[in-house]
Each structure stands twice: as C-alpha cells, then as structure tokens.
Amino acid sequence: MTSTDPVTRDERPARKEEIAEIERWAEETRRVVAAKRDAGGITPVAYCTANQKGGVGKTTTSINLAACLAALGFRVAIWDLDPQHNATLGLGLKPSLQGTHYLFYDDEADPRDLLRTTKVDNLSVIVGHQKLEMLAPGVASMPQGKKILADTVPKLNGTIDVNVFDTPGNLGIYTTNGLYAADRVVVPFTPGSFEIRGIKELNDHVKAIGEDRPEFARKHDGKKFSVDHVFLTAYDGRENNSKDAATIVARGFPDAYIDSPVPKRAPVVTAQSAGEPIITWEPHSSASIGFMKVARTIVERDKVLA
C-alpha cells in the first residue's frame, strides 16, 4: 500500500487518517519482518479458517488475511481444502488434481511441488478440486487420515512462513485436517449467518481436537488449542442484525473476539470474481483497511514477530 495506489473505487473508502495509520504500521512491520528474516528466520505458523457454515466469509478471510500477511513481507501459502475450491478461483487460478487432492491421495506427495504463484507477491496457493469430495470418505477411513495435513505442512518449513487453510462449511475430514495442522484458529461470521448452537458445536469440536493434541501445549508454552480469533465480515453498522451479531459473537467468544468488523463493501465481491484479494484490488477500500486491522490484531496477539 503506497501513495501511488490507484484512486479507490469504493464509494465510501476508509478515512485518510485511518489509511495513514495502518500504512505506517505496515511499513514498520515490513522492516521488522525483513530484519527477522536476516537474523535467521521467522518461526512458521499455520492458521485454519473454520466455521461449519457456508457463506460466512471463510474464503474471503483466508484470501485477504493471507494477502495482508504477504503484503507485510511474510511468505504465505493458502491451502484450498474445500471441494468447492473458491479460494483457488478467488486467486485467479484453476482447480487441479495437482493440488491438495494429491496430498490426500498420495502420501509421497511433496507440497513444495504443488505451490502455485498468484498475482500477489509472496502469496502462493495449493489449489483445490471438486474431486476432494469423492476422496473424503477414503481419507476419513484411514487410521491417521485426520492428520495427513499435519504431517505434510512442516515440509514447507524454510519455504513458507505462514500457512492458511481454507476449509469447507462443515466439520468433516478436511476441516478436521486443518484443525490438526493449525497453530491458530480463525473464525469469521457474516451477520445473520450464525446460530448460537453452531458456536457451541464449533468450540466443542476444536476443544476435542485440542485434547487429542497433547504436543500442542508443549509447543505453545502451555496454551490450550482453542478458537483464537473471531470477527465479523460483511458488517453494516446501519443494520440491526449486524449490531446484534456483534453482541452475540462477542459474548460467545469473549477472549477471541476482534472488535473491528470488516465492513460490507461491494468491491470485495468484484475483486473475488476478478481473481484478486480486495487488499491489492483496492487497497484503500474500507474493507481492505478492515482486513488489515484484523491482520494487525492477529499478528500482535499471536506475537508472530516476538
């Protein structure tokens, strides 16, 4: 994000001071990331975007969180674990069997061979394919089927700093794989697309996986595996259901809630159809600034640069 960026097409772009503030932070963070890389490296981290419902902003979050982190100088890979492969399409790529499908199909597969570059600097993707759907029962019936991704992701150490798993709208085998492989869990909601029952179900699923990952606490200074970051996207402060959703979600996840919803902006949808994240498509859109603020909270909370 620089002052030479094209004039925003968002009819209600972010405020100038807000843009300047986040750009200052991004600039400073880029310096820290570069210095840390020079000093011997950045500890790789994996984020799983999860929510058992569809249409709640998971893919939009995966793409834009990944793009924000890439803009900060991290080398980022998105793993498209959804048979609907919207992350692949949203990054302008075609679905292929030479993507996540191959990793679940052949235990000899090396993720380094499957990384594809995108239009965004520092951002790669391992694409999805609809045949993941047909493969799911076979993966689920394997004794270690839920841990295939967890065994695969470390092969990108040294190549990738941040892994982002985009999962389907259910708690099936691919979401479960994402959760077994993740250091942190990110849960987006769009207003009107959640149920209180669903929040409990998701928390319980994450907790059960945490109990099956005794090594997690050792790796993370005693921290329990849990839902770490929750926020609303497609938020409209003029609508009651947006305000109600914020209240309910903040109550459901008191520690994880990020109190800066990403506003609902039409260019988010346009960018995704054009195969690009909103944050590069229209950096000054209030949605881009919104995603940057979410990324900032996540980087600071998780001490990614500590």
Ligand X SMILES: Nc1ncnc2c1ncn2[C@@H]1O[C@H](COP(=O)(O)OP(=O)(O)O)[C@@H](O)[C@H]1O
- What residue 234 binds from Mg ion, ligand X, none (CB within 5 to 8 A, per partner kind)? ligand X
Q: Look at strands 227-232 and 45-49 and give their pairing.
A: unpaired
Least distance in angstroms from the C-beta of 6 to Mg ion: 28
Does residue 58 touch Mg ion according to CB under 5 A? yes
Q: Please state, as a whole number, how many other Cβ atoms lie within 10 Å of the Cβ of residue 3.
A: 7
**Piece of 17-25, 52-60, 91-99, 225-233 that binds Mg ion (CB under 5 A):** 52-60
Residue type (1 letter), 62: S
**Contact assessment for residue 281 and residue 119, using Cβ atoms and an 8 Å cutoff:** no
| Phi (first) and psi of residue 235, to 5 degrees | -85, 135
Which member of 13, 22, 29, 60 binds ligand X (CB under 6 A)? 60
Does residue 59 touch Mg ion according to CB under 5 A? yes
Does residue 294 touch ligand X according to CB under 6 A? no
Q: Closer to ligand X at the Cβ: 123 or 268?
A: 268
- What residue 272 binds from Mg ion, ligand X, none (CB within 5 to 8 A, per partner kind)? ligand X
Residue 280 to residues 33, 38, 155, 268: CA-CA distances in angstroms?
20, 26, 28, 11
Strands (E), 22-111: 45-49, 76-80
Does residue 193 touch Mg ion according to CB under 5 A? no
Q: Closer to Mg ion at the Cβ: 59 or 193?
A: 59
Which member of 26, 132, 268, 289 binds ligand X (CB under 6 A)? 268
Does residue 287 touch ligand X according to CB under 6 A? yes
Residue 180 to residues 43, 99, 152: CA-CA distances in angstroms?
18, 19, 11
Least distance in angstroms from the C-beta of 254 to ligand X: 23
Q: What is the dihedral of CA 234, 235, 240, 243, to 10 degrees?
A: 140
Residues at the site binding ligand X, with contacts judged by CB under 6 A? 54-60, 86, 169, 190, 233-234, 262, 264-265, 268-269, 272, 287
